[in-house]
Amino acid sequence: MAVMASAMDLFPDVETPETLVLQTPEWARVMQSLSANAHVHLPPNFSAFDSVEQAVQQAASEQIDVLGASNYYDYAVYHDFAARARAARIVPLFGIEIIALLEDLQRAGVRINDPVNPGKMYLCGKGIVHFAPLSTEAMPLLEEIRRKDATRMESMVAQLACLFAEAGVPTGLDALTVRQQVMQRHGCPLETVYLQERHVAQAFQEALFERVPLTERRAFLERLFRSAPQIDPGSAADVQNAIRSYLMKAGRPAYVEETFVGFDHAYQLVLAMGGIPCYPTLADGAPTLCPFEDPVEQLIDVLRARHIYCAEFIPVRNTPEVLTRYVLAMRAAGIVVTAGTEHNTREMLPLVPACAGGVPIPAEVQHIFREGACVVVAHQYLRMREYPGFVDAQGRLDPAYATDEDRIAAYSKLGAAVIARYRR
């Protein structure tokens, strides 16, 4: 709880959450003007940002009030994030992202929120609190994920190193070397670095650029890929993406079978860390809607059956029309909805969420996203103080409210009051 205490100790102790709302009339103004981004990745996760400082500085420059991190598999960086966010008067949200495999849907060929891999589900946790230190319930669940992920990455790096050497460019890379590069790039402890495919692709792209002059790169890439990719051999981003596409994806020569945990494992980890299970919705972020998500009414029924009462969008993937249809339907069904930008590539997008092509988010949808951010703030605030929160440790909704509408209204008011008090 040390991170939470340092992040949130500007909030005064009050007798009840209701008292905080009554003592903070500014909550209504917050609900009208809040600027929130509930999902970014911070280094050492693969990120557009080189440091937490850079992320918080950009958030401050864009007048972001609430910024949420959703990192994979290590959370030591949240210490720095909490301190820098507080100094900038930005409310930090702490989150987790997990990849799970639903074997029944994999066998049925059902794509969930991964446009390529059937059965593969991304699941987030919002407003986590039990990560500094990890709770005794969370530790074994997370360690199993870390172990499986590290084993796969080690094998993938080894296979890529062989492919590069066979094509004429020995790199000398192994998983430890790649982790050390990430450590040096971001100035973080080695034990906090868990490799992602993008880290690996970047390491091999950098080794290639160091060893092969630009004039010879296209010929080398054709040998390596046994194909002629239509990319700019001088573009780091193009080459990294090609390494992933031609060598690391399913059916490619460096692919290693993914060994994800099941849905129940991922869901229990979110609860063990004190968070709200949250479904990241792809919608029209892929060329065709994933069957799991189409139609939205079916998706809503499945989420509620799995006790998921929060959803999230990365609107830059979505058209305003589809985003509006999905968000309004989810909210009408009592599902809290948030929005973010991910920033999990090297492309530096604005932190203020927008639809595909930079089109502004429709006002009615923007209001729901503001409300959702406030609900997560309230949940995080309550769980820090040992209240049950929007969902409790078993994933059950707060029973103090007769309807979903009453519950969401109460939590959004409390979250807005917490934000207002924090920013005083």
Residue with token string 């945990």: 261
Other C-beta atoms within 10 Å of 397: how many? 17
- What are the residue ranges of helices labelled H in 63-102? 77-87
Q: Is 32 exposed, middle or buried (0-12, 13-18, 19+ CB in 10 A)?
A: exposed
**C-alpha dihedral, 203 to 204 to 207 to 213, nearest 10°:** -130
CA 176, 341, 138 angle in degrees (round to 5)?
A: 55
Map out the domains of the chain with their CATH numbers: 2-135+273-422 (3.20.20.140), 147-248 (no CATH)
Are the C-beta atoms of residues 160 and 202 closer than 8 Å to each other?
A: no
Sequence-distant (≥ 6) Cβ neighbours of residue 363 within 8 angstroms = none
Structure tokens that stand for 213 in this block: 């002059």
**In the structure, how many helices (H) and strands (E) does the chain have?**
16, 7
CA quadruple 170, 175, 181, 185: dihedral sign: positive
Report how far residue 218's alpha carbon sits from residue 200's, in angstroms, rounded to the nearest whole number. 20
User: Could you list the pLDDT tens digit for every one of the 424 residues in the chain?
Assistant: 455 555 555 455 656 788 888 888 889 999 999 999 999 999 999 999 999 999 999 999 999 999 999 999 989 999 999 999 999 999 999 999 999 999 999 999 999 999 988 999 999 999 999 998 888 999 999 999 999 999 999 999 999 999 999 999 999 999 999 999 999 999 999 999 999 999 999 999 999 999 999 999 999 999 999 999 999 999 999 999 999 999 998 899 999 988 899 999 999 999 999 999 999 999 999 999 999 999 999 999 999 999 999 999 999 999 999 999 999 999 999 999 999 999 998 889 999 999 999 999 999 999 999 999 999 999 999 999 889 899 999 999 999 999 999 999 999 999 999 999 998 7
The gap from C-alpha 196 to its chain's centroid, in whole angstroms, comes to: 13
pTM given for the model: 0.92
Report how far residue 99's alpha carbon sits from residue 16's, in angstroms, rounded to the nearest whole number. 37
Report how far residue 415's alpha carbon sits from residue 34's, in angstroms, rounded to the nearest whole number. 11
